[in-house]
Copies of this chain bind each other. A is one copy, B any other.
């Protein structure tokens, strides 16, 4: 493919994408294929010779597309959103065309400096402490792992990095019982065991109970353990519980415990001044992550990780082989030392495209719409009588179940709601997922896709009613 063929094929693909978004509501939101069908439809071997772009795109249409779940459908209410947007798609296109490797400043100065700048922009826009430094990671999983490693190394005075765990490790990591699975995963990767996690009880709003945390820490200290790190959550995945950062920070300070705050999804809402209360007291914590690639129209991956102790982060990761040394190392940010991977894409560019194309007000307007749609839907569920809300709705995640009069057994209700979820999703008209809250099978509906409007939520209500009537 030479450059003129690229132009021609590029136009075709831009047309394809335009058409895709113009008709996205016609596709089943959740792919309806059976396991193995697509795998079997693909040839056993890679082709030996060149194939035309038209043939490749046609195969995408004819073979792969029916197996795609359409995350950008406005009726995608599952998990948390993984939004993209037209400006972000264009930003990512430019990133992949330039193809710069952004491991250190010298391998692309503009990428390093734009990354620093957009981290500053977001810090100011979202009320993150002024003195903190930011870096773009791929995911909150990675960012939380970085925080755990920082905690480990700061506590051990960087001696585990040097000697490993010389004696048996007595470290304890704390999070709420509603915290994300990535915390347990990160804990294990960093050389702690799942038994070294204390999952602290939550209150009726699914927020960690500070007094229970405090008691657990005291008990652990008395038992000879070493409390190392608390990972608190702003907007838990299952229930959107919001831990009280300032209370937890106070406890962490009391016992000199590292405090990382995971706001992967909900942290986006701090771009709204009226939601910055969620991170009150963050300045007393140690690190913080949220993902513009979830709600903020910036395609995956783009996870913002902030810390008050940049030097500790760098010292946790830096290794400087000769082939990476440059003359400016002391003057610039070499982001390879701010995380797990050496290789890094130019992730700041798509976020810059999004921030400039929407403007902060444009993003706020959309977020406020999403939140109000969620609040209205929750009110409708509450009023209706046939449903039960299983968690508060502070933002745009609604946790509920169908609970018809006369059905009281937990098992029966769980079966019924699982069936309802399946019936809704197999229509292809919307996609919701589930969790379990206090043993109850819970339908999760997140209203936050880039292009969602009231009519999509109304259509979901009708779908819900229709499916209930046939249960």
Tell me if A's interface is mostly helix, strand, loop or mixed.
Answer: helix
> Residue A198 at the B interface, CB < 8 A?
no
- A435 CA / B70 CA spacing, docked (Å): 47
Known: A110-B68, A238-B323, A323-B79. A191 touches B162 (CB 8 A): no
User: Shortest beta-carbon distance, A465 to chain B, in Å?
Assistant: 25
Do the beta carbons of B90 and A92 come within 8 Å of each other?
no
8 Å CB contacts to B: which residues of A118-171? 118, 120-122, 124-125, 138-142, 145, 149, 159-169, 171
Number of copies of this protein chain within its complex = 2
A69 to chain B, nearest CB (A): 5
Q: From residue A437, how far is it (CB to closest CB) to chain B in Å?
A: 9
| Known interface pairs A99-B82, A181-B342; A357-B53 also in contact (CB < 8 Å) | yes
CB-CB nearest in chain B for A156 = B193
Of A31-39, A204-212, A216-224, A245-253, the stretch lying at the interface with chain B is A31-39
What residues on B are CB-neighbors of A71 within 8 Å?
Answer: 98-101, 107-108
Q: How far is the CB of A199 from chain B (nearest CB, A)?
A: 12
- Chain B residues with Cβ under 8 A from A88's Cβ? 96
Q: Of A16-24, A373-381, A387-395, which binds chain B?
A: A16-24
Contacts of A332 in B (CB 8 A): 35
Of the residues B46, B107, B192, B328, contact of A79 by C-beta under 8 Å: B107
Q: Would you give the shortest CB distance from A398 to chain B, in whole angstroms?
A: 14
Q: Check A343 against B113 for contact (C-beta < 8 Å).
A: no
- Bound together, the chains give a CA A300 to CA B142 distance in angstroms of 18
Pick the contact of A96: B2, B67, B84, B340 (CB < 8 A). Answer: B84
Interface segment among A182-190, A282-290, A403-411: the answer is A182-190
**Contact of A106 with B by CB under 8 A:** yes
The chain B residue with its CB closest to the CB of A66 is B110
> Are A299 and B99 within 8 A (Cβ)?
yes
Query: Is A274 part of the contact surface with B, judged by Cβ < 8 Å?
Result: no
Q: Please, how many angstroms separate the alpha-carbon atoms of A49 and B105 in the complex?
A: 30
Q: Do A193 and B160 touch across chains, with their CB atoms under 8 A apart?
A: yes
Give the shortest distance, in Å, between A446 (CB) and chain B (any CB): 11
Task: List which A323-337 residues lie within 8 A (CB) of chain B.
Answer: 323-324, 328, 331-332
CB neighbours of A361 from chain B (8 A): 48-49
Our pick among B4, B96, B301 for the contact of A92 (Cβ within 8 Å) is: B96
Check: A195 CB closer than 8 A to any chain B CB. yes
Cβ contact within 8 Å between A56 and B356: yes
Contact indicator per residue, chain A 361-387, by CB within 8 Å of chain B (1) or not (0): 110000000000000000000000000
22 interchain pairs (CB within 8 A)? A2-B86, A11-B14, A17-B93, A17-B94, A17-B97, A31-B106, A31-B109, A35-B105, A44-B120, A48-B360, A50-B359, A50-B362, A56-B353, A64-B110, A79-B323, A82-B100, A159-B193, A165-B169, A185-B319, A191-B192, A300-B345, A323-B444
